[in-house]
Amino acid sequence: MDVVEKRLDRVFCAQYNNIIMSGQLTKEAAAKLERGHIPLYYQLEKILRDKIASGEIAPEESFPTEQELCHRYGVSRAVVRQAFAALLQEGLISRIPGKGTFLAQQTPSHRTLHCFNTIEELVELSAQATNVIRYKGLVTPGKQTASLFALGPGERLYTLRGIRILKNDPVCYFVINLPGEFAGFFEDEILESGAILPIVEKKSGLLVQRVRQTITAGRARKHVAKSVGLEEGDPVLKFERIYYAANDRVVEAGTSYFHPDRYHYVMEFSHKQ
């Protein structure tokens, strides 16, 4: 199995989110978390989310303690705290000193976009969403984009434009640019999954080495506002990502405009070890 196929396997491991709920694993089999491609804190976070969604944890009941979760799932306190931190930041749970951790009331439209450390984690998050493609085809780019892809005179890019849906909410409008020769990769693809990168890597044989992300605040243009349920001129979060393969070759450049009330960008800092 080559490195691209291994990364693809990691992406589809995001389906782990539904395994326990669908009954494919028994509680006994799922108790100890698997030390593999999916981070332990992410596995535990998803288990806790499933328990919340299924009603297994009632609002008036406290969550298991850190020690109990460590023993049950065979993980460290650091893993448990990281899983809890994600739920706390999203407003799903609250902690009451001396009493424990409980479900918190939350606004249904509130979502949190986490800051991840690896490309795999970024793709796993995208895979949870659904794409609604509004346009796909070859376009002549502007000078800045053409320079980014090192295009020659008359060369075009393959562009995807659409909306990303998460839990029935339109969370962003996106524009993805790819080298023109990649156009054939998407002829037979439905593109429902939010993750485009796995298709690019698998069919091109190129492995993305790094991603550069820039976040800015902006105003929604008419087509963006209409797509995500805003008024023209409302504030949006603008994410620009450039994906580089070997020798700094750009294989994907995308811009996403996020509804500010449906996503928050969260970063965590700690002392250097």
Q: What is the CATH number of the domain that holds 161?
A: 3.40.1410.10
Tens of pLDDT, residue by residue, the chain (273 residues): 454 444 544 444 444 444 433 443 334 344 678 777 678 888 898 898 888 877 888 777 788 888 999 999 999 999 998 888 888 777 778 777 777 888 876 544 445 555 566 788 777 777 778 899 999 999 999 999 999 999 999 999 999 999 998 877 888 999 999 999 999 998 877 788 778 899 999 999 999 999 999 999 999 999 999 999 999 999 999 999 999 999 999 999 999 999 887 776 766 676 776
Confidence (pTM): 0.61
Query: Are 143 and 200 in a shared domain?
Result: yes
Query: Are 99 and 121 in a shared domain?
Result: no
Query: Are 48 and 85 in a shared domain?
Result: yes
Question: How many structural domains does the chain have?
Answer: 2
What does the longest C-alpha to C-alpha distance in the chain come to?
68
Single-letter residue type at 81: R
Residues 6 or more apart whose CB falls under 8 angstroms from that of 48 comprise 57, 63, 83, 87
